């Protein structure tokens, strides 16, 4: 399809832990996206999945850190998380009406008020909640923030999700897809792989390299022998960080790569060849735009 007919945009999916974000994303994407929550908390956007609807590509991201209970009341932190957040084309607030009450959501609602993006309220788990309290909560929340739309869905059964997807697709701006069509199918694997490596980087270098590295997926190729070849860049911002990342005789990076490779093989159920290259990119730290952060190439 020609680019001019296409639409593409970013949807920020936010909500408290257990609200059902991952389940909802899986339903929107239409397949199991194996990306699990990153242990490392950063303020960067994280790709959750890519949903397609006709000619529209929707990139679903979240903004880790916003809802960490420890930090929930720390407004500075919350706004920092938002600062790092993408200027999305739509923001989905996913709420569990069984467990959550208005006051618990207030810190986030306060932040949402100031956001310019179009907002959608998703009351999830309708299969498990009674109608009256559900409607009451919807009314309370819409009294706090101007939501363009309210959806009642069950991410578990899929109830209401197709309608939500159509609505979202309608909100995406015209433009070329950020993912080439033939890569959408393994885009989540590519990013999952980068996420796994990133977790290893944080786990092994946490104290020495706080939040100062990114993993960019370069390629993800299925080999004929049934194994998968994954190439990634470990991007750091200064030359002086190189010895830390490499370690003596390159031992550090080897260990990181080996741990990531093992974990990936387990997750993917395939033999994995992982090639990890260190790249110094001074501008990386200043260039925190979402496409960079989540390893997307802009495709024209």
Ligand X SMILES: Nc1nc2c(ncn2[C@@H]2O[C@H](COP(=O)(O)OP(=O)(O)OP(=O)(O)O)[C@@H](O)[C@H]2O)c(=O)[nH]1
- The one segment of 18-26, 105-113, 234-242, 255-263 that binds ligand X by CB under 6 A: 18-26
Nearer of residues 15 and 295 to ligand X, judged by Cβ: 15
Question: Where does this chain touch ligand X (CB under 6 A) — which range of 20-28, 204-212, 281-289, 292-300?
Answer: 20-28
* Binding of ligand X by 46 (CB under 6 A): no
125 binds ligand X (CB under 6 A): yes
Give the integer Cα–Cα distance in Å for 7 and 11. 13
Residues 229-288 that bind ligand X (CB under 6 A): none
Q: Which of 8, 10, 19, 171 binds ligand X (CB under 6 A)?
A: 19
Among 40, 88, 145, 155, which residue sits at the site for ligand X (rule: CB under 6 A)? 155
CB 50 → ligand X: shortest distance, Å?
Answer: 17
Which residue of 3, 5, 18, 254 would you call a contact of ligand X, by CB under 6 A? 18
22 near ligand X, judged by CB under 6 A? yes
Annotated binding site for GTP: 15-22, 62-66, 124-127
Note the residues at the interface with ligand X (CB under 6 A): 15, 17-23, 37, 124-125, 127-128, 154-156
């Amino acid at each position: 399809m020609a680019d001019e007919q296409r639409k593409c945009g970013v949807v920020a999916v936010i909500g408290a832990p257990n609200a059902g974000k991952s389940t909802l994303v899986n339903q929107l994407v239409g397949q199991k996206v194996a990306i699990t929550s990153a242990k490392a908390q950063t303020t960067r956007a994280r790709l959750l999945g890519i949903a397609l609807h006709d000619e529209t590509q929707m990139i679903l991201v979240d903004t880790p850190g916003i809802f960490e209970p420890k930090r929930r009341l720390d407004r500075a932190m919350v706004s920092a998380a938002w600062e790092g957040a993408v200027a999305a084309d739509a923001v989905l607030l996913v709420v569990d009406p069984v467990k959550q009450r208005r006051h618990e959501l207030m810190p986030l609602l306060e932040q949402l008020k100031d956001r310019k993006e179009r907002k959608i309220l998703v009351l999830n788990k309708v299969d498990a909640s009674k109608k009256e309290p559900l409607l009451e909560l919807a009314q309370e929340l819409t009294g706090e923030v101007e939501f363009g739309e309210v959806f009642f869905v069950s991410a578990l059964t899929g109830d209401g999700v197709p309608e939500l997807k159509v609505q979202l697709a309608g909100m995406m701006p015209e433009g070329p897809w950020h993912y080439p069509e033939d890569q959408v199918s393994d885009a989540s694997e590519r990013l999952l792989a980068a996420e796994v490596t990133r977790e290893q980087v944080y786990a092994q270098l946490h104290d020495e390299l706080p939040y100062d590295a990114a993993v960019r997926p370069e390629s993800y190729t299925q080999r004929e022998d049934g194994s998968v070849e994954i190439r990634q860049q470990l991007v750091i911002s200064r030359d002086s960080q190189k010895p830390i990342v490499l370690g003596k005789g390159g031992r550090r990076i080897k260990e990181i790569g080996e741990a990531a490779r093992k974990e990936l093989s387990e997750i993917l159920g395939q033999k994995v060849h992982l090639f990890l290259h260190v790249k110094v990119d001074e501008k990386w730290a200043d260039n925190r735009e979402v496409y960079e952060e989540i390893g997307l190439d802009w495709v024209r």
